[in-house]
Amino acid sequence: MDSELQAQLNGIKQQTNSGLDNQKQAAILLKAVEETIVEQNGELSPIAYFGTLMTIVEQAITNESPVISPSVYLLAIIFPKINANVLKLKFTDIASMLESILVQYNNDAPVVRSTIICIEYLLFAIDNTAWSSETLSKKLFQHLLNLCVDARPKVRKRASDAIKRILSNPPPPTTNHPCCTLAIDFCSVVLEDYISTSGGSKFSKENDSEVLDVLVFLKLMITVFARQSRNDKIRAKLDKLLKALLGLPRRSSGSGDVILTQWVFEVLDTLLNSNNEERLDFKVVDMVVKSLIELSPYENDSILTPTWLAVLTNGFFRLSTYVCDYELGNLQDADKYLVEFITYDYDALFSSFFNRIFTTLYQSNNQIKSSILEKSTVLLSSMIENGVSKSMIEKAKSSNDSTLSQIIQLLEGSLTDIHQRENWGHILLISAAIFRRLGSDSPELIHQILSHIMEFRDDSSFSSSFPYKLEIQTALQSAIQGLGIEMFLSYVPLNIENEHKNQPRRPYLLSNICDALQEPNVTSEWSPYRILGPHKLNFFVSQLLPLSDRMLVKAGGLWETGRELEAKLYETLGLQIWSLFPFICSSLPCDVGDSFGFLAKHLGRVLTTSPTQLYPSLPSSADLRPVVCHGLENLVESFHLLASLTAEDGDDDEKIRWKEVSVSLGKEVIGKIQKYGNRFLSSLCNIYTAIDLDVLQNLKTKGQALQVIHEKSIQHYEKTIKKILLIVDPTSLSDYFMTMVKILLEKQNITVKTEVDLLSIYSILDLVLIMIPFLEKSDLQETPLTIFYNFCQDHIKEKDATFQKKSYKCLTHVLPFLTTIQLNLKVLIDNLLADVVLSNLSPGSTRLRVKLIQLVVEHLEDKELTLYFIPEALPEVMLATKESSEKTRDSAYDCLVAMGHKMIEGGVGESIESLNMNDDESMDESKPHKGDLSIREFIMMVAAGLAGETSHMQSAAIASLGRLLFEFYDSMNIELVTELLKTVLLAMSFKNREVTKAALGFVKVSIVCLPKDVLHVYLESIITTILTHSRDHKSHFKSKVRHIFERLIRKFSYEEIDQHFPQSDKKLILNIKKRKESLKKRKAMDDADGNNGKSVVKPVKEKAFVEAFHDSGSELDSDEEKDEHYIPEKFKDEGKQTSKLKSQTIIREDDVIDFLDKQIVSQVSHVKLSKKMNKTNDNLKKNSDGRYVIDESDSDEDNAKPVISEDYYKQSLASEVSFTRAADGRVKFVKRKRDEDDVEGGEVTTTVGKRWNAGTKKRKEVEQDNNKLLGRQYKAKRAGGDVKRAGMPDPHAFIPLTSKIVGNMNKSTKLDGTLKNILKAAHKGNEIGTKARSIKVKGINKSNKKHK
Using alpha carbons, select from 994, 1008, 996, 1003 the residue that is nearest to residue 879: 994
Check if the beta carbon of residue 638 is closer than 8 Å to that of residue 585.
Answer: yes
Using alpha carbons, select from 317, 397, 406 the residue that is nearest to residue 358: 406
pLDDT over threshold 70, residue 204: no
Q: How far apart are CA 956 and CA 948, in angstroms?
A: 10
Q: How far apart are CA 108 and CA 70, in angstroms?
A: 12
| Candidate ranges 249-253, 814-818, 1070-1074; pick with highest mean pLDDT | 814-818
pLDDT over threshold 50, residue 1196: no
Q: How far apart are CA 1235 and CA 1191, in angstroms?
A: 43
**Cβ contacts of 32 within 8 Å, gap of 6 or more:** none
Top pLDDT among 69 and 365 is at: 69
Note the pLDDT of residue 559. Answer: 92
Backbone angles phi and psi of 394, in degrees to 5: -65, -40
Q: b or e along 720-742 (b: 16 or more beta carbons within 10 Å of the residue's beta carbon)?
A: bbbbbbebbeeeebbebbeebbe
Q: How far apart are CA 1042 and CA 1048, in angstroms?
A: 10
pLDDT over threshold 90, residue 1031: no
Check if the beta carbon of residue 825 is closer than 8 Å to that of residue 860.
Answer: yes
Note the pLDDT of residue 790. Answer: 92
Note the pLDDT of residue 928. Answer: 45
Check if the beta carbon of residue 479 is closer than 8 Å to that of residue 517.
Answer: no
Using alpha carbons, select from 62, 60, 35, 59 the residue that is nearest to residue 49: 35
Provide DSSP, 516-538: HHTSPPP--TTSTT--S-S--HH
Q: How far apart are CA 1215 and CA 686, in angstroms?
A: 61
**Amino acid making up residue 445:** L
Note the pLDDT of residue 1137. Answer: 41
Of the pLDDT bands very low, low, confident and very high (cuts 50, 70, 90), residue 274 is low
SS3 assignment, position 1292: coil
Q: How far apart are CA 1152 and CA 1186, in angstroms?
A: 14
Distance of CA 162 to the CA centre of its chain: 33
Check if the beta carbon of residue 623 is closer than 8 Å to that of residue 709.
Answer: no
pLDDT over threshold 60, residue 73: yes
pLDDT over threshold 70, residue 1324: yes
Top pLDDT among 707 and 168 is at: 168
pLDDT digits (tens, 9 = 90+) for 16-57: 888 888 889 999 999 999 999 998 888 889 999 999 999 999
Q: How far apart are CA 80 and CA 1187, in angstroms?
A: 53
Of the pLDDT bands very low, low, confident and very high (cuts 50, 70, 90), residue 440 is confident
- What are the angstrom distances between the C-alpha of 293 and each of 296, 352, 353, 357, 805? 6, 11, 8, 10, 75
pLDDT digits (tens, 9 = 90+) for 605-633: 999 888 888 898 888 888 899 999 999 99
Q: Mean pLDDT across the chain, nearest whole number?
A: 80
Check if the beta carbon of residue 797 is closer than 8 Å to that of residue 815.
Answer: no
**Amino acid making up residue 1008:** V
Given 3-state DSSP classes, what are the helix, strand and coil percentages for the chain, each rounded to the nearest 5?
65, 0, 30
Of the pLDDT bands very low, low, confident and very high (cuts 50, 70, 90), residue 1231 is low
Q: b or e along 247-274 (b: 16 or more beta carbons within 10 Å of the residue's beta carbon)?
A: bbbebbbeeebbebbbbbbbbbbbbbbe
Note the pLDDT of residue 508. Answer: 94
Residues 275-286, mean pLDDT to the nearest whole number: 79
Beta bridge partners, 1164, equal 1147
Check if the beta carbon of residue 743 is closer than 8 Å to that of residue 764.
Answer: yes
Q: How far apart are CA 677 and CA 620, in angstroms?
A: 31
- What are the angstrom distances between the C-alpha of 197 and each of 200, 205, 211, 1311? 9, 10, 12, 71
Q: How far apart are CA 362 and CA 427, in angstroms?
A: 8
**Amino acid making up residue 1246:** T
Rg of the chain (C-alpha set): 43
Using alpha carbons, select from 183, 184, 94 the residue that is nearest to residue 130: 94
pLDDT digits (tens, 9 = 90+) for 343-361: 889 999 999 999 999 999 9
Percent of the chain past pLDDT 70, that is, above it, reads 76
Backbone angles phi and psi of 16, in degrees to 5: -60, -35
Q: How far apart are CA 445 and CA 684, in angstroms?
A: 46
Q: b or e along 526-559 (b: 16 or more beta carbons within 10 Å of the residue's beta carbon)?
A: bebebbbbbbbbbbbbebbbeebbebbbbbbebb
Provide DSSP, 842-881: -GGGHHHHHHHHHHHHHH---HHHHHHHHHHHHHHHHHHT
How many helices (H) and strands (E) are present in the chain, helices listed first? 63, 6
Query: Integer distance in angstroms from the first to the last C-alpha of the chain?
Result: 132
Note the pLDDT of residue 887. Answer: 92
Q: Is 1346 exposed, middle or buried (0-12, 13-18, 19+ CB in 10 A)?
A: exposed
Note the pLDDT of residue 558. Answer: 92
Residues 1018-1030, mean pLDDT to the nearest whole number: 80
Top pLDDT among 437 and 1293 is at: 437
- What are the angstrom distances between the C-alpha of 673 and each of 136, 667, 669, 724, 1046? 72, 10, 6, 9, 66
SS3 assignment, position 1282: strand
Pick the range with the lowest mean pLDDT from 366-370, 541-545, 1194-1198, 1292-1296.
1194-1198
**Amino acid making up residue 727:** I
* Bond into 173 cis (ω within 30): yes
Check if the beta carbon of residue 958 is closer than 8 Å to that of residue 917.
Answer: no
Q: Residues 166, 169, 171, CA angle at the centre, nearest 5°?
A: 100
Of the pLDDT bands very low, low, confident and very high (cuts 50, 70, 90), residue 1249 is low
SS3 assignment, position 1220: strand
Q: pTM higher than 0.85 for the full model?
A: no
Q: How far apart are CA 112 and CA 155, in angstroms?
A: 7
Using alpha carbons, select from 325, 255, 250 the residue that is nearest to residue 285: 325
The DSSP 8-state label assigned to residue 1198 in this structure reads: G
Give the DSSP H/E element, type plus range, for residue 795.
Answer: none
Check if the beta carbon of residue 538 is closer than 8 Å to that of residue 584.
Answer: no
The DSSP 8-state label assigned to residue 620 in this structure reads: S
Q: Residues 519, 525, 531, CA angle at the centre, nearest 5°?
A: 55
Residues 1006-1031, mean pLDDT to the nearest whole number: 81
Instruction: Give the pairing of strands 1219-1221 and 1227-1229.
Output: antiparallel
Check if the beta carbon of residue 1049 is closer than 8 Å to that of residue 1023.
Answer: no
Residues 426-437, mean pLDDT to the nearest whole number: 95
Check if the beta carbon of residue 237 is closer than 8 Å to that of residue 188.
Answer: yes
Backbone angles phi and psi of 1235, in degrees to 5: -90, 10
Beta bridge partners, 1166, equal 1145
Q: Where are the alpha helices (DSSP H) in 1198-1304?
A: 1208-1214, 1254-1267
Note the pLDDT of residue 904. Answer: 86
Note the pLDDT of residue 728. Answer: 92
Note the pLDDT of residue 451. Answer: 94
